[in-house]
Amino acid sequence: MKILVAYADTTESQLALELAKTHARSFDAEILLVSSSEGGKGENPERLSQLTMKLENIKADLKEEGTACEVTQLARGLSPGEDIVFFAEENNVDLIYVGVQKKSRTSKLLLGSTAQYIILKAPCPVISVKS
The per-residue pLDDT for range 104-129, each reduced to its tens digit, is: 665 555 445 888 899 999 999 999 99
Type of residue at 46: E
The domain of 90 spans 2-130
**What angle in degrees, to the nearest 10, is found between the helix axes of 45-65 and 11-27?**
30
Mean pLDDT along residues 69-78: 89
**What pLDDT is attached to residue 122?**
97
CA–CA dist 58, 3 (Å, integer): 15
Domain count, the chain: 1
The larger pLDDT score, comparing residue 1 to residue 107, is at: 1
Contact 57, 44 (CB under 8 A): no
For 9-57, give the secondary structure using H, E and C: CCHHHHHHHHHHHHHHHHHCCEEEEEEECCCCCCCCHHHHHHHHHHHHH
Average pLDDT over all residues of the chain: 88
**What pLDDT is attached to residue 64?**
94
**What pLDDT is attached to residue 75?**
82
CATH of the domain at 78: 3.40.50.620
CA–CA dist 32, 88 (Å, integer): 9
CA–CA dist 46, 64 (Å, integer): 27
Pick the range with the lowest mean pLDDT from 14-18, 32-36, 42-46, 56-60: 42-46
**What pLDDT is attached to residue 111?**
44
Torsion of CA 3, 68, 43, 102, to 10 degrees: 40
Pick the range with the lowest mean pLDDT from 7-11, 34-38, 43-47, 70-74: 43-47
The larger pLDDT score, comparing residue 74 to residue 122, is at: 122
